[in-house]
Amino acid sequence: MSLPSAPLPPPEDLLIDLRSGALRAATPLPPLPNRTLLLSLDDIEEGAHGLTAAAGTLLVVCERGVRSTLAARLLRAEGLNASAYEGGVPALLAAWEHKP
Amino acid sequence: MSLPSAPLPPPEDLLIDLRSGALRAATPLPPLPNRTLLLSLDDIEEGAHGLTAAAGTLLVVCERGVRSTLAARLLRAEGLNASAYEGGVPALLAAWEHKP
């Protein structure tokens, strides 16, 4: 019996991928319909993300879910609706594999 | 004498890549420092891009520069500072190859 995988993100959420180009090339995201923003934790820490509430619900993902948790906290501190995808890209790939 | 290539985008510009996941996987963008937003022309036509002036200068890219020109026009019509990267991804890759 495999572990229940996390649900896939709602398609209208803006997915934010914090991973470096090299990690993204090595492990591409699944072909989700979501808009996806590629930027670094530095961009967020320096307030250079350019995001506003108009971007909608933000779902942050990284290699394991650690930096994305910090990034989501920083974005929430700016009043944005942000959360981290638990377990990061590996969990997202598992959710894609086990999608109904 | 090779054709002078277009300049690389300023690093603070938000690069918008309209290409499908398959095209992006087949021809990855060069490792530019820019924030990069992956979305479709439909997202822009339907006003579901979530972009505001806070996102800064927008530079749209696609396979050849045709759809990006339309996308940039639509975004400008919404008052956003958007332009298309002439010649699309091939020109961007050439600019990266010939960067000083």
Q: What is the pLDDT of residues B45-76, one digit of tens each?
A: 999 999 999 999 999 999 999 999 999 999 99
Estimate to the nearest angstrom the gap between the alpha carbon of A45 and the chain centroid. Answer: 16
Residue of B nearest to A31 (CA): B21
Nearest residue, CB atoms, A38 vs list B21, B36, B50: B36
Adjacency order of strands within the sheet including B14-17: A82-84, A58-61, A14-17, A36-38, B36-38, B14-17, B58-61, B82-84
Summarize pLDDT for A65-97 with one digit per residue, the tens: 999 999 999 999 999 999 999 999 999 999 999
Query: Which ipTM score applies to this complex?
Result: 0.92
CA angle in degrees (0–180, nearest 5) for B13-B18-B20:
140
Residue B23 has pLDDT above 60, yes or no: yes
Across the interface, whether the CB atoms of A35 and B43 are under 8 A apart is answered yes
Residue B44 has pLDDT above 70, yes or no: yes
Q: Which class in CATH covers the domain with range A14-97?
A: alpha beta
Sign of CA dihedral A10, A94, B35, B64: negative
Q: What is the pLDDT of residue A92?
A: 97
C-alpha to C-alpha distances, B32 to A23, A66, B14, B93, nearest whole angstrom: 14, 24, 11, 10
CA atoms within 13 A on the CB side of B89: 17
